[in-house]
Amino acid sequence: MEKNKSIALVAHDHRKKDLAEWVRWNVQILCNHDLVCTGTTGRLITEVIDEEVAKGHAKALRQPIKLLRSGPLGGDQQLGALIAEGGVDVLIFFWDPMQPQPHDVDVKALLRIAVVYNIPVGCNRSTADFVISSPLIGQEYAPRGRDFSSYMDREF
């Protein structure tokens, strides 16, 4: 991982307000990194960051937020593909454990692929706070990779 991370920000509908508040609180750190978001979460986060930049509380983003589709329309799968391709370093996903999600299998697949590829995942405010405040967020970092050769080389 390079010094500047690719940070994915995702939130279910009932958690978007929480994520927006978290982004506002951490905007100065986040503006040093590249952001990728699913659908409506991305539009909300763009508004929050633009407001904070206009107030002088943060500098402009390094580059515009990469916007994917809405989660239920394939955004979670797009994000999973980015993780598998090495295009995401950190996942902050405020999911709602109290609401049924019509795309729950996609959510589980996204969380699974994040674990498979050994990227940090923050699913609640406390974990996201620990991840974003780690000294590693602003440094180069070489995560320990897993060797999947035995899986890939198996015979059927």
The residues annotated with a catalytic role in the active site are: 76
Write out pLDDT tens, residues 112-150. 999 999 999 999 999 999 999 999 999 999 888 777 777
Residue 1 token pair: 């991982």
Phi-psi label, residue 80: left if phi above 0, alpha if psi -120 to 50, beta otherwise: alpha
Scan for tokens 């059927």, then name that residue: 156
Give the model's confidence band at 78: pLDDT under 50 very low, under 70 low, under 90 confident, else very high.
very high
Radius of gyration of the chain measured on its C-alpha atoms: 16
Residue pair 77/109 in contact (Cβ under 8 Å)? The answer is yes
User: Nearest 5 degrees, angle CA 129-CA 135-CA 140?
Assistant: 120
Domains and CATH numbers, the chain: 9-136 (3.40.50.1380)
Predicted TM-score (pTM) of this structure: 0.91
